Amino acid sequence: MSLQKPPLLRILLNNVSCMRNLQQILRHVNVTAHDGVALVLTGTNGSGKSTFLCMLAGFSRPSAGEIPWNGHDITNSGVYHQYKLQLNWLSLKDAIKDKLTALGKVQWFEVLEGKQGKLLPALELMGLERLAKEKARMLSMGQRKGLQLATLLAIDRPIWLLWTMKGIIPNIFHRMKPADANPMLSMIIKTRERIMPGTPSRAKLMTR
């Protein structure tokens, strides 16, 4: 009988600290994210959730420690160039052009990535198939967030950093089935939303 291999370690925070304006925001944080795993960040305002995500995205540097991706520190410029091509970032700003249709928005990113075939299934998964030809300006806030998630599914990068609003957690974990996502997918999600039973791993950041 063959033994299953453990999931590949995708991202590691190794004893990471971060300071901002001479204040300690994060101190000695150690986190691992493997393929096929979602990590949900929770915590009060000011506990460092946004700082955590921005460091993982490479927008800011840790004051101590390292952030290896596939064994290589992302603060190295050569490594970061490769790392960011594997990265999906979803923030509170939706980066949606109001003149485009829902279909056109996802299609634009799909063409940009040189990928095809996942556009319509992604819209359907997010419950947007009937709105595919609607202009983005006609969509509700929740539908616009669903459109962002459909885009992430269509371009199929293996690391998702999600800065969520209320309702997005159920959209991800209640709609998506394992077959819908890349098995190498790693998600790290910031939320202030109550986490429902059955939601994947979580890390609570405590106020400094």
Give the pair of three-digit tokens for residue 156: 């199929």
**Per-residue pLDDT reduced to its tens digit, 102-160:** 888 888 888 877 777 788 888 888 888 888 888 888 888 878 888 888 888 888 888 88
Cα 30 to Cα 58: distance, rounded to the nearest angstrom: 17
Cα 23 to Cα 26: distance, rounded to the nearest angstrom: 9
Cα 27 to Cα 17: distance, rounded to the nearest angstrom: 4
Owner of token pair 């791993």: 201
- Please report the pLDDT score of residue 64 as a whole number: 93
User: Do 18 and 63 contact (CB within 8 A), yes or no?
Assistant: yes
Domains along the chain? 9-86+158-208 (3.40.50.300), 94-156 (no CATH)
Owner of token pair 């971060």: 18
- Please report the pLDDT score of residue 174 as a whole number: 57
Phi, psi of 30 (to 5 degrees): -125, 120
Give the pair of three-digit tokens for residue 57: 């995205």
- Please report the pLDDT score of residue 191 as a whole number: 56
- Please report the pLDDT score of residue 198 as a whole number: 44
Cα 160 to Cα 112: distance, rounded to the nearest angstrom: 18
Local mean pLDDT, 10-residue blocks, the chain (208 residues) = 52 86 87 78 81 88 90 89 86 77 83 79 85 86 82 83 64 54 57 46 48
Q: What is the mean pLDDT of the chain?
A: 76
The total of other beta-carbon atoms located within 10 Å of residue 148's CB is 22
Q: How far is CA 72 from the centre of its chain?
A: 20
- Please report the pLDDT score of residue 129 as a whole number: 86
Distant-in-sequence, close-in-space partners of 114: CB < 8 Å, separation ≥ 6: none
